[in-house]
């Protein structure tokens, strides 16, 4: 796709699932990848997959919910690649999947910290590099839980609604300065995060199977959209959250 060759991409949570698939797809388009994850082992596995296929990647460990860790991680990427062209805020966790009055404050803080504050922190510390060049793309992985309430629970639903708002604000603040921000709202995709959900009787089984596509999503479905949105071909797309859900939320 146009505009991905030799671009430097920082992807958070790229040691597993959607982040790993997006990292390998972007590397296949010629981008150089900083594979960031809290789980160094997972990040190194992703790097091995990319380098085995002839791509350029390195692993960086950090916690997106911690400002000092994000600052040091961004500095490491800048030392290694010299710049950051594309930021994919993908790292995410789910909470306790309980009704509001049963959710602990710890779970609220944990999920909001990773899923929402993490997007704020990584954007905050990468944006100066993009501003200096007058160019950049920020892609946030939200969820269909950024559009509606569901069995994913209050912490996740609130955080992902927050990410859709944060994406609009990023577009509002920086679109005219050359930084394009956009989000993706996946339905249920088969990854380690959802391994207990994607079975008969799981919390989203009916919603998924009754939808037009009638199947769970695959990481590649999302990774191809990440590539398109990161490319110059999506140049007119700003601030929205694009659902990719097999049609599960059309009604």
Contact criterion met (CB below 8 Å) for 83 and 55:
no
Three-state SS at 247: coil
Alpha helices in the chain (DSSP H): 17-28, 40-52, 67-81, 105-111, 118-133, 154-174, 205-209, 219-230
- Structure token pair of residue 91: 């790292």
Exactly one of 8, 26, 37, 182 binds ligand NAD (CB under 6 A); which one? 37
The Cα 75–Cα 230 span in angstroms is 22
Please state the closest distance from residue 194 (CB atom) to ligand NAD, in A: 4
Asked if 155 and 103 touch (Cβ cutoff 8 Å), the reply is yes
Binding of ligand NAD by 183 (CB under 6 A) = no
Least spacing, CB of residue 16 vs ligand NAD, in Å: 3
Q: Is 15 in the site for ligand NAD (CB under 6 A)?
A: yes
Please identify, using beta-carbon distances, which residue of 179 and 225 lies nearer to ligand NAD: 225
What binding mask, one character per residue, do residues 195-234 give for ligand NAD by CB under 6 A, x or -?
Answer: ----------------------------------------
Cβ-based nearer residue to ligand NAD, 3 or 161 = 161
Query: Which position among 64, 97, 137, 154 is part of the footprint of ligand NAD (CB under 6 A)?
Result: 64
For residue 136, the cross-strand partners are 179
Chain mean position to CA 247: 20
Binding ligand NAD (rule: CB under 6 A), the pick from 1, 8, 35, 38 is: 38
Check residue 136 for interaction with ligand NAD (CB under 6 A): no
216 annotated active-site: no
Answer yes or no whether residue 116 interacts with ligand NAD by CB under 6 A: no
Burial 82-98 (b: 16+ CB within 10 A, else e): eebbbbbbbbbbbbbbe
The catalytic residue positions are 156
Residues in the site for ligand NAD, rule: CB under 6 A?
12-13, 15-19, 37-39, 42, 63-65, 90-93, 114, 118, 141, 143, 186, 188-189, 191-194
């Amino acid at each position: 796709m146009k505009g991905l060759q030799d671009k430097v991409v920082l992807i958070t949570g790229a040691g597993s699932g959607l982040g790993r698939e997006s990292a390998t797809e972007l590397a296949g388009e010629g981008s150089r990848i900083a594979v960031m994850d809290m789980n160094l082992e997972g990040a190194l596995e992703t790097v091995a997959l990319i380098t085995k296929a002839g791509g350029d990647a390195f692993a960086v460990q950090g916690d997106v919910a911690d400002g000092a860790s994000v600052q040091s991680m961004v500095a490491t990427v800048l030392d290694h690649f010299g710049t950051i062209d594309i930021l994919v805020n993908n790292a995410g966790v789910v909470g306790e999947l309980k009704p509001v009055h049963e959710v602990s404050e710890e779970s609220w803080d944990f999920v909001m910290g990773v899923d929402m504050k993490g997007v704020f922190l990584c954007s905050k510390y990468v944006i100066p590099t993009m501003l200096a060049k007058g160019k950049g793309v920020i892609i946030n992985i939200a969820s269909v839980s950024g559009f509606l309430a569901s069995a994913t629970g209050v912490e996740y639903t609130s955080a992902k609604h927050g990410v859709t708002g944060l994406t609009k604000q990023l577009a509002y603040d920086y679109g005219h300065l050359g930084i394009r921000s956009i989000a993706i709202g996946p339905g249920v995709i088969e990854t380690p995060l959802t391994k207990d959900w994607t079975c008969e009787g799981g919390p989203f089984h009916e919603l998924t199977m009754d939808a037009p596509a009638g199947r769970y999503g695959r990481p590649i479905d999302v990774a191809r959209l990440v590539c398109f949105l990161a490319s110059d071909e999506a140049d007119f797309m700003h601030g929205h959250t694009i659902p990719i859900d097999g049609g599960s939320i059309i009604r």
